[in-house]
Amino acid sequence: LNRSLAAFGTTIFAEMSALAAATGSINLGQGFPDTDGPAEIAEAAVRAIRDGRGNQYPPGPGVPELRTAITAHQQRFYGLSYDPDTEVLVTAGATEAIAASLLALLEPGDEVIALEPFYDSYAACIAMAGAVRVPLTLRAPHFRPDLDALRDAITPRTRLLLLNTPHNPTGTVLTREELAVIAELAVERDLLVVTDEVYEHLVFEGAHVPLASLPGMRERTVTISSAGKTFSFTGWKVGWITAPPALVSAVRSAKQFLTYVSSGPFQYAVAEALALPDSYFDDFRADLAAKRDLLSDGLAAAGFEVFRPQGTYFITTDVSPLGEKDGLAFCRALPGRCGVVAIPNQVFYDDKSAGATQVRWAFCKRTDVLQEAVDRLRRL
Protein backbone atom coordinates (compact mmCIF):
# COMPACT_ATOMS: atom_id res chain seq x y z
CA LEU A 1 0.00 0.00 0.00
CA ASN A 2 1.23 3.48 -0.89
CA ARG A 3 2.77 4.95 2.25
CA SER A 4 0.74 8.16 2.16
CA LEU A 5 -2.48 6.12 2.23
CA ALA A 6 -1.48 3.43 4.72
CA ALA A 7 -1.97 5.78 7.64
CA PHE A 8 -5.68 6.05 6.90
CA GLY A 9 -6.62 2.40 7.45
CA THR A 10 -10.31 1.58 7.11
CA THR A 11 -12.79 4.44 7.14
CA ILE A 12 -14.57 4.85 10.44
CA PHE A 13 -17.92 4.66 8.59
CA ALA A 14 -17.21 1.14 7.34
CA GLU A 15 -15.88 0.06 10.76
CA MET A 16 -18.90 1.34 12.65
CA SER A 17 -21.51 0.13 10.15
CA ALA A 18 -19.94 -3.34 10.29
CA LEU A 19 -20.14 -3.19 14.09
CA ALA A 20 -23.81 -2.19 13.88
CA ALA A 21 -24.56 -5.10 11.55
CA ALA A 22 -22.59 -7.61 13.63
CA THR A 23 -24.30 -6.61 16.87
CA GLY A 24 -27.77 -5.83 15.48
CA SER A 25 -27.49 -2.32 16.90
CA ILE A 26 -29.34 0.83 15.90
CA ASN A 27 -26.95 2.54 13.51
CA LEU A 28 -26.72 6.26 14.22
CA GLY A 29 -23.15 6.18 12.94
CA GLN A 30 -22.71 6.37 9.17
CA GLY A 31 -24.85 9.13 7.71
CA PHE A 32 -27.47 7.55 5.52
CA PRO A 33 -31.26 7.77 5.77
CA ASP A 34 -33.24 4.65 6.71
CA THR A 35 -36.07 5.75 4.41
CA ASP A 36 -35.55 6.16 0.67
CA GLY A 37 -36.22 9.42 -1.15
CA PRO A 38 -39.38 10.26 -3.13
CA ALA A 39 -41.09 7.27 -4.79
CA GLU A 40 -41.62 9.18 -8.03
CA ILE A 41 -37.89 9.80 -8.28
CA ALA A 42 -37.15 6.11 -7.74
CA GLU A 43 -39.75 5.45 -10.44
CA ALA A 44 -37.94 7.88 -12.76
CA ALA A 45 -34.76 5.80 -12.38
CA VAL A 46 -36.67 2.60 -13.17
CA ARG A 47 -38.20 4.28 -16.21
CA ALA A 48 -34.79 5.44 -17.43
CA ILE A 49 -33.44 1.88 -17.20
CA ARG A 50 -36.49 0.44 -18.99
CA ASP A 51 -36.36 3.11 -21.69
CA GLY A 52 -32.67 2.53 -22.27
CA ARG A 53 -31.55 5.96 -21.09
CA GLY A 54 -28.11 5.83 -19.52
CA ASN A 55 -27.65 2.07 -19.64
CA GLN A 56 -24.49 2.62 -21.71
CA TYR A 57 -21.72 5.09 -20.87
CA PRO A 58 -23.25 8.51 -20.44
CA PRO A 59 -21.34 11.58 -21.73
CA GLY A 60 -18.20 12.48 -19.73
CA PRO A 61 -19.52 15.73 -18.23
CA GLY A 62 -22.89 14.13 -17.33
CA VAL A 63 -26.15 13.85 -19.27
CA PRO A 64 -27.36 17.22 -20.61
CA GLU A 65 -30.70 16.92 -18.76
CA LEU A 66 -28.89 16.71 -15.41
CA ARG A 67 -26.38 19.45 -16.18
CA THR A 68 -29.24 21.75 -17.14
CA ALA A 69 -31.17 20.81 -13.99
CA ILE A 70 -28.10 21.57 -11.82
CA THR A 71 -27.74 25.04 -13.34
CA ALA A 72 -31.49 25.66 -12.91
CA HIS A 73 -31.17 24.66 -9.24
CA GLN A 74 -28.26 27.08 -8.65
CA GLN A 75 -30.29 29.84 -10.29
CA ARG A 76 -33.51 29.06 -8.43
CA PHE A 77 -32.08 28.83 -4.93
CA TYR A 78 -29.11 31.21 -5.09
CA GLY A 79 -29.44 33.37 -8.22
CA LEU A 80 -26.14 31.90 -9.48
CA SER A 81 -25.78 31.45 -13.26
CA TYR A 82 -23.71 28.61 -14.65
CA ASP A 83 -23.41 27.35 -18.21
CA PRO A 84 -24.52 23.70 -18.34
CA ASP A 85 -22.06 22.95 -21.14
CA THR A 86 -18.87 24.37 -19.67
CA GLU A 87 -19.43 24.98 -15.95
CA VAL A 88 -20.90 21.72 -14.62
CA LEU A 89 -19.42 18.27 -14.12
CA VAL A 90 -21.37 15.26 -12.85
CA THR A 91 -19.36 12.94 -10.59
CA ALA A 92 -19.70 9.62 -8.75
CA GLY A 93 -21.05 11.26 -5.61
CA ALA A 94 -19.48 14.19 -3.82
CA THR A 95 -16.71 11.78 -2.84
CA GLU A 96 -15.38 11.66 -6.39
CA ALA A 97 -15.90 15.40 -6.79
CA ILE A 98 -13.64 15.96 -3.76
CA ALA A 99 -11.00 13.50 -5.00
CA ALA A 100 -10.98 14.77 -8.59
CA SER A 101 -10.89 18.42 -7.49
CA LEU A 102 -7.96 17.89 -5.14
CA LEU A 103 -6.03 15.68 -7.56
CA ALA A 104 -6.62 18.18 -10.35
CA LEU A 105 -5.78 21.38 -8.51
CA LEU A 106 -2.95 20.42 -6.14
CA GLU A 107 0.72 19.80 -6.76
CA PRO A 108 2.98 17.90 -4.38
CA GLY A 109 3.96 20.13 -1.47
CA ASP A 110 1.05 22.55 -1.87
CA GLU A 111 -0.68 23.46 1.36
CA VAL A 112 -4.42 23.11 1.79
CA ILE A 113 -6.19 24.81 4.66
CA ALA A 114 -9.23 22.80 5.74
CA LEU A 115 -11.72 23.10 8.56
CA GLU A 116 -10.99 20.51 11.24
CA PRO A 117 -12.64 18.18 12.21
CA PHE A 118 -12.55 17.17 8.52
CA TYR A 119 -14.68 14.70 6.65
CA ASP A 120 -12.40 11.67 6.40
CA SER A 121 -11.90 11.66 2.64
CA TYR A 122 -10.40 15.17 2.69
CA ALA A 123 -7.27 14.14 4.54
CA ALA A 124 -6.85 11.00 2.44
CA CYS A 125 -7.30 12.83 -0.88
CA ILE A 126 -4.94 15.64 0.11
CA ALA A 127 -2.39 12.92 0.94
CA MET A 128 -3.00 11.13 -2.37
CA ALA A 129 -2.31 14.42 -4.16
CA GLY A 130 0.99 14.66 -2.24
CA ALA A 131 -0.15 17.92 -0.68
CA VAL A 132 -0.06 19.01 2.95
CA ARG A 133 -3.11 19.64 5.08
CA VAL A 134 -3.17 22.60 7.42
CA PRO A 135 -6.08 22.41 9.85
CA LEU A 136 -8.17 25.33 10.94
CA THR A 137 -9.66 23.86 14.09
CA LEU A 138 -13.29 24.39 15.05
CA ARG A 139 -13.48 24.08 18.83
CA ALA A 140 -16.29 23.19 21.21
CA PRO A 141 -18.66 24.53 22.28
CA HIS A 142 -19.31 26.95 19.38
CA PHE A 143 -17.25 25.45 16.56
CA ARG A 144 -16.74 28.79 14.79
CA PRO A 145 -13.68 29.33 12.58
CA ASP A 146 -10.99 31.59 14.05
CA LEU A 147 -10.51 33.93 11.10
CA ASP A 148 -7.33 35.50 12.52
CA ALA A 149 -5.89 32.02 12.74
CA LEU A 150 -6.93 31.49 9.13
CA ARG A 151 -5.07 34.63 8.06
CA ASP A 152 -1.98 33.46 9.95
CA ALA A 153 -2.18 29.98 8.44
CA ILE A 154 -1.85 31.23 4.87
CA THR A 155 1.73 30.93 3.58
CA PRO A 156 3.29 31.30 0.13
CA ARG A 157 2.74 27.52 -0.28
CA THR A 158 -0.99 27.74 0.36
CA ARG A 159 -2.83 26.83 -2.83
CA LEU A 160 -6.33 26.09 -1.75
CA LEU A 161 -8.95 26.45 0.95
CA LEU A 162 -11.17 23.43 1.47
CA LEU A 163 -14.43 24.44 3.11
CA ASN A 164 -17.51 22.55 4.17
CA THR A 165 -20.75 24.32 5.06
CA PRO A 166 -23.03 23.09 6.57
CA HIS A 167 -20.19 21.32 8.32
CA ASN A 168 -19.97 17.59 9.01
CA PRO A 169 -19.63 16.58 11.86
CA THR A 170 -20.13 19.76 13.94
CA GLY A 171 -23.30 21.10 12.27
CA THR A 172 -21.75 24.58 11.96
CA VAL A 173 -23.25 26.70 9.19
CA LEU A 174 -20.83 29.43 8.14
CA THR A 175 -22.43 32.88 8.26
CA ARG A 176 -22.36 35.43 5.49
CA GLU A 177 -19.97 37.52 7.63
CA GLU A 178 -17.56 34.61 8.13
CA LEU A 179 -17.70 33.74 4.44
CA ALA A 180 -17.05 37.38 3.53
CA VAL A 181 -13.80 37.36 5.50
CA ILE A 182 -12.79 34.04 3.95
CA ALA A 183 -13.62 35.41 0.50
CA GLU A 184 -11.55 38.54 1.06
CA LEU A 185 -8.58 36.46 2.13
CA ALA A 186 -8.97 34.15 -0.87
CA VAL A 187 -8.98 37.12 -3.24
CA GLU A 188 -6.15 38.94 -1.48
CA ARG A 189 -3.90 35.83 -1.41
CA ASP A 190 -5.14 34.52 -4.77
CA LEU A 191 -6.30 31.13 -3.46
CA LEU A 192 -8.59 28.60 -5.04
CA VAL A 193 -11.49 27.36 -2.93
CA VAL A 194 -13.17 23.98 -2.99
CA THR A 195 -16.38 24.13 -1.00
CA ASP A 196 -18.33 21.02 -0.05
CA GLU A 197 -21.97 22.06 0.24
CA VAL A 198 -23.65 18.63 0.21
CA TYR A 199 -25.89 19.62 3.14
CA GLU A 200 -27.02 22.84 1.44
CA HIS A 201 -30.70 21.99 1.96
CA LEU A 202 -30.27 21.00 5.60
CA VAL A 203 -30.00 24.32 7.39
CA PHE A 204 -32.26 24.77 10.41
CA GLU A 205 -31.07 28.16 11.60
CA GLY A 206 -30.11 30.98 9.28
CA ALA A 207 -29.65 30.22 5.60
CA HIS A 208 -27.15 28.45 3.44
CA VAL A 209 -24.92 30.98 1.69
CA PRO A 210 -22.96 29.46 -1.20
CA LEU A 211 -19.41 30.77 -1.11
CA ALA A 212 -19.54 31.28 -4.90
CA SER A 213 -22.19 33.97 -4.39
CA LEU A 214 -19.72 36.29 -2.61
CA PRO A 215 -17.82 39.01 -4.49
CA GLY A 216 -14.76 37.73 -6.33
CA MET A 217 -15.50 34.10 -5.53
CA ARG A 218 -17.34 32.66 -8.50
CA GLU A 219 -14.19 32.67 -10.62
CA ARG A 220 -12.04 30.85 -8.04
CA THR A 221 -14.53 28.44 -6.44
CA VAL A 222 -15.38 24.82 -7.09
CA THR A 223 -18.74 24.09 -5.44
CA ILE A 224 -19.59 20.47 -4.66
CA SER A 225 -22.98 18.94 -3.95
CA SER A 226 -24.71 15.57 -4.09
CA ALA A 227 -28.11 14.01 -4.67
CA GLY A 228 -27.35 11.50 -1.92
CA LYS A 229 -28.04 14.01 0.83
CA THR A 230 -30.72 16.20 -0.69
CA PHE A 231 -32.88 13.40 -2.08
CA SER A 232 -32.03 10.54 0.30
CA PHE A 233 -30.53 8.24 -2.31
CA THR A 234 -26.99 7.84 -0.99
CA GLY A 235 -26.50 4.58 -2.90
CA TRP A 236 -26.99 6.22 -6.30
CA LYS A 237 -23.75 8.17 -6.00
CA VAL A 238 -24.70 11.14 -8.13
CA GLY A 239 -22.73 14.26 -7.24
CA TRP A 240 -21.56 17.31 -9.16
CA ILE A 241 -19.44 20.40 -9.23
CA THR A 242 -20.20 23.86 -10.53
CA ALA A 243 -17.21 26.10 -11.32
CA PRO A 244 -15.84 28.34 -14.05
CA PRO A 245 -14.82 26.57 -17.30
CA ALA A 246 -11.07 26.34 -16.63
CA LEU A 247 -11.63 24.71 -13.23
CA VAL A 248 -14.31 22.33 -14.53
CA SER A 249 -12.01 21.35 -17.34
CA ALA A 250 -9.16 20.66 -14.87
CA VAL A 251 -11.36 18.56 -12.58
CA ARG A 252 -12.71 16.70 -15.58
CA SER A 253 -9.16 15.75 -16.58
CA ALA A 254 -8.76 13.94 -13.25
CA LYS A 255 -12.30 12.52 -13.19
CA GLN A 256 -11.96 10.87 -16.60
CA PHE A 257 -9.25 8.59 -15.22
CA LEU A 258 -10.98 7.87 -11.91
CA THR A 259 -14.40 6.61 -12.97
CA TYR A 260 -14.71 8.11 -16.48
CA VAL A 261 -18.51 8.18 -16.00
CA SER A 262 -21.08 6.66 -13.64
CA SER A 263 -24.73 6.28 -12.62
CA GLY A 264 -26.26 6.67 -16.13
CA PRO A 265 -29.98 6.06 -15.42
CA PHE A 266 -29.78 7.69 -12.00
CA GLN A 267 -28.58 10.90 -13.60
CA TYR A 268 -31.93 11.22 -15.41
CA ALA A 269 -33.82 10.61 -12.18
CA VAL A 270 -31.76 13.20 -10.30
CA ALA A 271 -32.51 15.72 -13.06
CA GLU A 272 -36.20 15.26 -12.19
CA ALA A 273 -35.49 15.46 -8.47
CA LEU A 274 -33.74 18.81 -8.79
CA ALA A 275 -36.90 20.19 -10.40
CA LEU A 276 -39.17 19.12 -7.50
CA PRO A 277 -41.27 22.00 -6.12
CA ASP A 278 -40.05 24.09 -3.19
CA SER A 279 -42.43 22.16 -0.93
CA TYR A 280 -40.22 19.07 -1.26
CA PHE A 281 -37.17 20.94 0.05
CA ASP A 282 -39.19 22.66 2.81
CA ASP A 283 -40.79 19.41 4.00
CA PHE A 284 -37.45 17.59 3.95
CA ARG A 285 -35.88 20.26 6.13
CA ALA A 286 -38.86 20.46 8.52
CA ASP A 287 -38.89 16.69 8.95
CA LEU A 288 -35.19 16.66 9.83
CA ALA A 289 -35.49 19.69 12.11
CA ALA A 290 -38.03 17.79 14.21
CA LYS A 291 -35.68 14.78 14.32
CA ARG A 292 -32.78 16.99 15.32
CA ASP A 293 -34.82 18.23 18.27
CA LEU A 294 -35.97 14.77 19.28
CA LEU A 295 -32.45 13.35 19.29
CA SER A 296 -30.81 16.46 20.81
CA ASP A 297 -33.28 16.46 23.69
CA GLY A 298 -32.93 12.70 24.15
CA LEU A 299 -29.13 12.85 24.22
CA ALA A 300 -29.24 15.71 26.72
CA ALA A 301 -31.64 13.74 28.91
CA ALA A 302 -29.26 10.76 28.74
CA GLY A 303 -26.48 12.96 30.16
CA PHE A 304 -24.46 13.98 27.10
CA GLU A 305 -23.34 17.54 26.50
CA VAL A 306 -25.15 18.35 23.25
CA PHE A 307 -23.94 20.84 20.64
CA ARG A 308 -27.17 21.49 18.77
CA PRO A 309 -26.33 21.69 15.06
CA GLN A 310 -27.45 24.56 12.81
CA GLY A 311 -27.32 22.24 9.80
CA THR A 312 -26.52 18.72 8.45
CA TYR A 313 -28.10 15.57 9.85
CA PHE A 314 -25.54 15.05 12.61
CA ILE A 315 -25.34 16.00 16.26
CA THR A 316 -21.99 16.29 17.99
CA THR A 317 -21.95 15.58 21.71
CA ASP A 318 -19.36 15.37 24.44
CA VAL A 319 -19.25 12.19 26.50
CA SER A 320 -17.23 13.61 29.43
CA PRO A 321 -20.32 14.27 31.61
CA LEU A 322 -20.85 10.48 31.56
CA GLY A 323 -17.38 10.00 33.03
CA GLU A 324 -15.96 8.88 29.68
CA LYS A 325 -12.42 9.86 28.68
CA ASP A 326 -12.19 8.58 25.12
CA GLY A 327 -14.85 8.80 22.39
CA LEU A 328 -13.39 5.99 20.29
CA ALA A 329 -13.39 3.53 23.20
CA PHE A 330 -16.89 4.71 24.11
CA CYS A 331 -18.17 4.07 20.54
CA ARG A 332 -16.54 0.64 20.34
CA ALA A 333 -18.16 -0.38 23.63
CA LEU A 334 -21.56 1.21 23.06
CA PRO A 335 -23.17 -1.59 20.99
CA GLY A 336 -22.40 -4.07 23.77
CA ARG A 337 -23.67 -1.73 26.44
CA CYS A 338 -26.94 -0.66 24.85
CA GLY A 339 -27.23 -1.60 21.16
CA VAL A 340 -26.52 1.80 19.58
CA VAL A 341 -23.72 2.83 17.20
CA ALA A 342 -22.21 6.32 16.88
CA ILE A 343 -19.08 7.88 15.38
CA PRO A 344 -16.07 9.15 17.41
CA ASN A 345 -15.15 12.61 16.08
CA GLN A 346 -11.50 12.27 17.13
CA VAL A 347 -10.75 10.43 13.88
CA PHE A 348 -11.61 13.66 12.01
CA TYR A 349 -9.00 15.70 13.92
CA ASP A 350 -5.23 15.99 13.57
CA ASP A 351 -5.36 17.58 17.00
CA LYS A 352 -6.77 14.46 18.72
CA SER A 353 -7.05 16.26 22.04
CA ALA A 354 -9.52 18.74 20.56
CA GLY A 355 -11.97 15.95 19.70
CA ALA A 356 -11.04 13.18 22.15
CA THR A 357 -14.40 13.04 23.90
CA GLN A 358 -16.68 14.09 21.03
CA VAL A 359 -19.15 11.61 19.56
CA ARG A 360 -21.42 12.16 16.53
CA TRP A 361 -24.97 10.85 16.08
CA ALA A 362 -26.94 10.78 12.79
CA PHE A 363 -30.62 11.70 12.99
CA CYS A 364 -31.65 10.92 9.38
CA LYS A 365 -33.63 7.96 10.77
CA ARG A 366 -37.29 7.13 11.37
CA THR A 367 -38.82 8.75 14.44
CA ASP A 368 -39.53 5.39 16.09
CA VAL A 369 -35.90 4.37 15.56
CA LEU A 370 -34.62 7.60 17.12
CA GLN A 371 -37.02 7.18 20.01
CA GLU A 372 -35.85 3.62 20.62
CA ALA A 373 -32.20 4.76 20.49
CA VAL A 374 -32.92 7.48 23.04
CA ASP A 375 -34.67 4.98 25.33
CA ARG A 376 -31.66 2.69 25.15
CA LEU A 377 -29.21 5.53 25.80
CA ARG A 378 -31.13 6.67 28.84
CA ARG A 379 -30.54 3.27 30.40
CA LEU A 380 -26.75 3.65 30.03
Among 311, 363, 315, residue whose Cα is nearest residue 204: 311
> Between residue 166 and residue 185, which ones bind ligand PMP under the rule CB under 6 A?
168
Quote the CA–CA distance of 51 and 53 in Å, as a whole number: 6
Q: Is 239 in the site for ligand PMP (CB under 6 A)?
A: yes
Give me the DSSP letters along 281-341: HHHHHHHHHHHHHHHHHHHHHTT-EEE--SBSSEEEEE-GGGT---HHHHHHHHHHHHSEE
CA distance 118 to 164: 9
C-alpha–C-alpha distance, residues 363 and 371, integer Å: 11
Q: What's the min distance (Å) between Cβ of 197 and ligand PMP?
A: 9
Distance CA 353, CA 348 (A): 11
| Residue 195 binds ligand GLN (CB under 6 A) | no
Does residue 226 belong to the site contacting ligand PMP (CB under 6 A)? Answer: yes
Residue 55's alpha-carbon distances to 49, 123, 173, 186, in angstroms, are 6, 34, 38, 42
Q: Are 17 and 29 in contact (CB under 8 A)?
A: yes
Which listed residue (164, 165, 168, 296) binds ligand GLN by CB under 6 A? 168
Of 300-319, which residues contact ligand PMP (CB under 6 A)? none
User: Is residue 198 within the footprint of ligand PMP (CB under 6 A)?
Assistant: yes
Angle between helices 367-378 and 278-301 (to 10 degrees): 10
Binder of ligand GLN out of 19, 20, 31, 348 (CB under 6 A): 31
Span of 75-83, 92-100, 336-344, 363-371 interacting with ligand PMP by CB under 6 A:
92-100
Answer with the entry of ligand PMP, ligand GLN, none that 358 interacts with (C-beta below 5 to 8 A by kind). none
User: Taking CB under 6 A as the rule, does residue 93 contact ligand PMP?
Assistant: yes
Choice from 19, 94, 162, 331 touching ligand PMP (CB under 6 A): 94
Q: Which of residues 3-22 bind ligand GLN (CB under 6 A)?
A: 13
What number of CA atoms fall less than 13 Å from residue 196's CA on the CB side? 27
In the set 25, 27, 71, 95, which binds ligand PMP (CB under 6 A)? Answer: 95
Given 20, 25, 27, 30, the residue binding ligand GLN (CB under 6 A): 30
- By CB under 6 A, name the binding residues for ligand GLN: 13, 30-31, 168
- By CB under 6 A, name the binding residues for ligand PMP: 31, 93-95, 119, 164, 168, 196, 198, 226, 228, 234, 239
